[in-house]
Chains A and B, each alone.
Chain A
């Protein structure tokens, strides 16, 4: 399996009022193709910063991130935008969408913007609708974003992140704003996507969510303190045992 993300000595420092705050300190890890990696850690440990820095949304202070063979530090803003458009998908805790577009238009917007496929608008629409059907929200296609539930909206965000067939989906607490039922539905879809071959890197506080991942990285004060390899699972019944194992490991890590 090839490595899609290789992080070496990654540092991120915020300077506020001339005070240097080292949020990430020489972080090293890699993610292989087809993995679903959860980043966990206490509040303020640098989880989201790590996700945004690795995905190129935030600039790193030092170190290097290689994404599918490309060193992100050497990319210009425009090149980075192209990478985000074609090779990355993003899901956020809040269901950020363009207010003036329908759900379907929001989903297909990155595909319309991308020059990669040169497909007809009708083809893009067909792909968008297919993705919506897959995630069970096809009936909301022509709705405005304030006409659907939070769970539906988050699934729409997943559709949007998938529309350009990205190599990696980055998710920042994707279930953080959802109730348990919606949360389970969303994670179910993400696991499905991962099983179909999409690599996922997500940040979560939720053990139930992390238990569905293949690997968990635990970060404290900007350092990766440890990682726990859960591997894949085939039956939902296995999840309870994975949660217990993960809980025990997290307790050991000081969770």
Chain B
């Protein structure tokens, strides 16, 4: 009997039940895949690090001939429990040649490592450990593992110093240390004999060779103190910082998780509406069932069985779909990481069961209304006898607009509760899209340029080759010569300008017994006061420095305190005068005054060469000059401010992809909600629709009136989302930027046209089109169907 009633109900409300089922499917699919994704990525990084043998601390040095002083420090430090060491060769993009041409560009120097000397474990794309590389063959990682540029089996030439050798690409590999897009140093794994062939070259040996130390410790704090005086390390960080560089992967996973939570909440709202609507619609049946003696529990059971069936079927389908969907979401991540989530099956099933349990519990709470319905409701047509309940809000007599608009607006205002769920859904959908769009736009906005510790310049020319030329020599004039060459080139080509470059030095810093290696930034051609500071005043004298809040916290210092910095063996006190935000080194950076005597040859890394044209050209002229400069310097790595930010954060595309995915999902959700609600309205208002037709309303008028309600809701949702967009973006994205290093001062790039017009219009177009198409169903309601007015 129960199942006969259930079967009839499922048939009668086919569309509404189908849409509910779709919501459950989507909720389960997202919940299962996103929880799995989150656990896989978050836990996966630990798993990958463990499998790769990532140590507690990593030091990267450049050997400039003679004994490497880092050897002694690492060997003798008491805090070191064990350590490993790999020799490596740094190389610029121009050293890689395919078919006689340079075929790839990358910002950070590439690293050549011998597999036989490897202290870290590397994995191929099937997650198998690489134990050997045949002579004359190589494995590529990071940016080089791009199948659009090379394929396995291709031959590439590596030219370093006077050595040029051909290699066959054996495969692509996963490198735990430098796989994240934030670090992005491509690695070439090769046979030891091949590595030695390059190292035998004097030029390579003196200028391009380096060493990486993998250090383990029981006391990281002590280790940092012990390593504080390692001279000119290019990189000296604990593995926790490396883990943070994978934050973008976690961020994408987190975004999908947030979308899933929103989707589940929207499902609940829809469920709540549908259940309440069904109960209102079924008051007569429920009254009759009670009149013939059925208990509340039995009547409630009937509805519970229906929703349990929908939840179970939806959960099974959702779980099945979550498997390929989850794989798709993890595709880009699994190309870099060795993901080893052994519990994915259990997690997926667990999430699906959780969705079912939550939905059923929610349904149970929503069906409380059944208790209130009595047999008398069946007799009294659902009227409770309550009167004097004001319904009309607007007055047609006072309105100037068309009757369709009036009826639509009056309806929305008279029954706000009925439309609240839709308003929330559309607002949440818009908020999700606009928040991600603003974040993506901010990550490519020139407003962030200060976060890289650079001044604003017309053009940024990134050249690893030129920087490596400086760092690899003992000539203190090397950088000046390169800058002069660029300036001469600019002058010769009719666009004279000044060139400067930000250099990074790794120096020891100390405050009240806290010691550590720190990246310090300085440019001889600018003033420390040219940069943006969050608090305090810019360093005005040689003995003044500015620190990021993260460094202040690590040292336990504050503005006004004096820190000790050792430069070339001489310890000197520096007054902290300001704090600033920085994306550099995840915010672990110090700004030195321009007069501090550091030698450019000891720089551990550098930003792009910044060009400021003498004639203050317009943006259009700058763009034209960028095209020209690319031709002159034969490189694509010449950017304007916004492109420089984009290439430096290397994250806008990930956020942009997440935004596109969320937009598609939001459009689907909005469309489904619209169909569900409009069909409910038509079903509920059949009598009124018939009455309107009876008194002479055309079908298109009825359709228009129904569609206008959604237009009004979209306008309201746009206003709400516009008002909430900035505070919500700030609330969530400030935390993301803080993880990336910028604790404050991020000015969001809000594109009004995009945020307040284009996205609302896209969502609005979908909602209104779907509402209009669904409202065409009112055509089937004839004017003699007025008996449905209860």
Contacts and interface: CB of A to CB of B under 8 A. Distances in A.
B687 A104 contact: no
A24 B25 CA distance: 50
A17 B770 CA distance: 33
B390 interface: yes
Interface stretch (B107-115, B567-575, B693-701): B693-701
Interface residues of A, number: 41
Contacts of A100: 391-393, 407, 410-411, 414-415
Interface string A100-122: 11101100111011100000011
Contacts of A128: 397
B696 A113 contact: yes
Interface string B334-349: 0000000000000000
Contact of A105 (B396, B784, B789): B396
B389 interface: yes
Given A100-B391, A102-B395, A77 B694 contact: no
A90 B410 CA distance: 24
B388 A147 contact: yes
Nearest to A142: B395
Contact of A160 (B391, B398, B695, B782): B695
A77 B400 CA distance: 28
A35 interface: no
B411 A121 contact: no
A113 B692 CA distance: 10
B106 to A, nearest CB: 65
Interface in B697-712: 697-701
Contacts of B699: 77-78, 81
Interface stretch (A26-34, A91-99, A203-211): A91-99
A94 B397 CA distance: 25
B4 interface: no
Interface in A43-87: 52, 57-58, 77-78, 81-86
Nearest to A125: B397
A144 to B, nearest CB: 5
B529 interface: no
Given A58-B784, A146-B387, A101 B696 contact: no
B403 A94 contact: no
A54 B435 CA distance: 59
Contacts of A52: 784
B397 A104 contact: yes
Interface in B417-468: none
Interface in B76-121: none
A187 B232 CA distance: 105
| Residue among A98, A146, A160 facing the most chain B CB atoms (10 A cut-off) | A98
Given A85-B695, A85-B696, A147-B387, A105 B397 contact: yes
Contacts of B410: 100-101
A46 to B, nearest CB: 14
B399 interface: yes
Contact of A96 (B407, B696, B786): B786
Given A81-B697, A104-B395, A109-B695, 7 more contacts: A57-B783, A84-B783, A99-B789, A128-B397, A144-B390, A146-B391, A147-B388
12 contacts: A77-B698, A81-B693, A88-B696, A90-B694, A96-B691, A101-B392, A104-B395, A105-B392, A114-B696, A124-B397, A125-B397, A128-B397
Interface of B: 387-393, 395-400, 403, 406-407, 410-411, 414-415, 687-688, 691-701, 782-784, 786-787, 789
The 7 nearest A-B residue pairs measured at CB: A85-B696, A105-B396, A84-B696, A100-B414, A125-B397, A57-B783, A81-B698
